[in-house]
Structure 1
Amino acid sequence: MEWREEGIVLGVRRQGETSVVAEVMTRSRGRHLGLVRGGRSRRLQPVLQPGNTVDATWRARLDEHLGFMTVEPVHLRAARLMESAVGLYGIQLLAAHLRLLPERDAHPRLFDTLALIVEHLDDPVAAGSLILRFEIALLEELGFGLDLETCAATGGRDDLVYVSPKSGRAVSRDAGEPWRDRLLPLPAFLKGDVSPASADVAEGFRMTGFFLARHVWEPRAIKEPDARVGTLGVIARSRASAEG
């Protein structure tokens, strides 16, 4: 068995004295692991940093084996990401989110979104809205997609300002008014070309965090990733500073 494809490095773990097991996200092979011989060498260590894009070749006798992976650099952006707090936290968060998916399952939409985010991950203002959209897409890929297009009560598409915590569906202002204290806010920028403000991004993360906790973290007996807490803190401070 053999394949070759570009992938984004999510992480590595040490294997023996000189090798590592590399974890990369690819478009058609999903999240994939492979043993990289000499992965701890001076040549390969800088290449196998989270956030870098590599040309990966994977080989194994049988498909279910761990296999051997060789990598060549394509786009080395890890050094730039490590210079910013949001870059450091953000790539860890994205990796933690992707590990919620089965290994080797293709998720091209998430790969494309990841590829876009890592280009802007050192910019806290842009990173916030992009990571939020990634979490919405992740919920959909996990089978818990949100319906933010039509009102759960009326079927209309106008003035959607809430999200039902029960159904994950949008609710219009008038229909949701009697239960406004029980509903989650729906950020305006998710429904159009409105530029996201700090409050909108924070409300958006509150919304995705609620559904991730209910459908993903709690059923698996895991907690919200520490990297998410760190990422959201950096984004909030940076956006508040930019807008102030």
Structure 2
Amino acid sequence: MQVSAQSAYVLHSRAYRESSALVDILTPQGRFRAVLRGARGKAGTLARPFIPLEMEFRGRGELKNIARLEAAGVPNLLSGSALFSGLYLNELLIRLLPAEDPHPELFEHYALSLRALAANPPLEPLLRSFEWRLLDELGYGFALDVDLAGQPIKRDGLYRLQPDAGMEQVAQLQPGLFQGADLLAMAQADWASPGALAAAKRLMRQALAPHLGGRPLVSRELFMNLKEPARD
């Protein structure tokens, strides 16, 4: 079976057999794994992350073959922290997005995120936005302005996350809590609010953790190593 041409991005590729590559691909119709034959030629230079592509696939099983691969836009040239951020988005998609599960709006958000990363914006708001969109697309999203009891979040309240459910108000101080003011700032994407970005990063880690199966994200470790100062 040959699939009609689709917009696509390569999320990851690795050598496969003598001259082929095993490629993880994101399209509006979902995430696929496919074999690219002749990966040492021109096609192999295109089968890299962050390049807008057009692809056709053949095959009925889970592992398809790439029948055609062409550039479909200007490559997103990422470097430094933006590069590691892009690799982080790719790893999240590979780890969390079910195979062949269509998410056209997530695909568009990913494409926009790559273009934004290429412009070297502040990274934290962009990463938090993508994490939130991914959770929501997978059905794991939750409200930031209303708690589990259906009550509006109080600015002076304290809350904890119940994964895949939402925010629960608590009466006593305990580790891992969130201030209501920070949750309301997140709900409005008000990243100028003091503490909102730090709280959002902590919240997204708590929300993503149950779905990552206890395995650390390689891109996150690489990013942390990049940010650590060199030692004598």
TM-score normalised by the shorter chain: which range applies? 0.7 to 0.9
Could you say if the C-alpha distance between residues 153 and 180 of structure 1 is closer, same or farther in structure 2, counting changes exceeding 3 Å? farther
Could you say if the C-alpha distance between residues 105 and 235 of structure 1 is closer, same or farther in structure 2, counting changes exceeding 3 Å? farther
Match of 2:107 in 1: 111
1:209 counterpart = 2:210: no
Please list every run of 5 or more consecutive structure 2 residues that lacks an aligned counterpart in the other structure: none
Name the CA distance, whole Å, in 2 between partners of 1:67 and 1:142. Answer: 27
Match of 2:186 in 1: 190
Name the CA distance, whole Å, in 2 between partners of 1:152 and 1:232. Answer: 34
Name the CA distance, whole Å, in 1 between partners of 2:208 and 2:227. Answer: 19
Name the CA distance, whole Å, in 2 between partners of 1:104 and 1:226. Answer: 24
Match of 1:39 in 2: 39
Query: Structure 1: which amino acid aligns with 2:9?
Result: I
Match of 1:141 in 2: 137
Match of 1:52 in 2: 51
Match of 2:219 in 1: 227
How far the C-alpha of 1:45 sits from its partner, in A, is: 3.2
Percent identity, please.
22
The residue matched to 2:44 in structure 1 has which SS?
coil
TM-score (norm 2): 0.80
- Decide whether the 8 Å contact of 1:59 with 1:67 is kept in 2: yes
The residue matched to 1:147 in structure 2 has which SS?
coil
How far the C-alpha of 1:153 sits from its partner, in A, is: 4.5
How far the C-alpha of 1:89 sits from its partner, in A, is: 0.9
How many aligned residue pairs are there? 223
Match of 2:21 in 1: 20
Please list every run of 5 or more consecutive structure 1 residues that lacks an aligned counterpart in the other structure: 238-244
Q: Which has the higher helix share?
A: 1
Name the CA distance, whole Å, in 2 between partners of 1:8 and 1:24. Answer: 6
- Decide whether the 8 Å contact of 1:148 with 1:163 is kept in 2: no
Name the CA distance, whole Å, in 2 between partners of 1:198 and 1:233. Answer: 26
Name the CA distance, whole Å, in 2 between partners of 1:44 and 1:236. Answer: 36
1:128 counterpart = 2:124: yes
TM-score (norm 1): 0.76
Query: Structure 1: which amino acid aligns with 2:12?
Result: G
Could you say if the C-alpha distance between residues 157 and 197 of structure 1 is closer, same or farther in structure 2, counting changes exceeding 3 Å? closer
- Decide whether the 8 Å contact of 1:160 with 1:170 is kept in 2: no
Could you say if the C-alpha distance between residues 162 and 196 of structure 1 is closer, same or farther in structure 2, counting changes exceeding 3 Å? farther
- Decide whether the 8 Å contact of 1:120 with 1:127 is kept in 2: no
- Decide whether the 8 Å contact of 1:9 with 1:22 is kept in 2: yes
Match of 1:86 in 2: 81
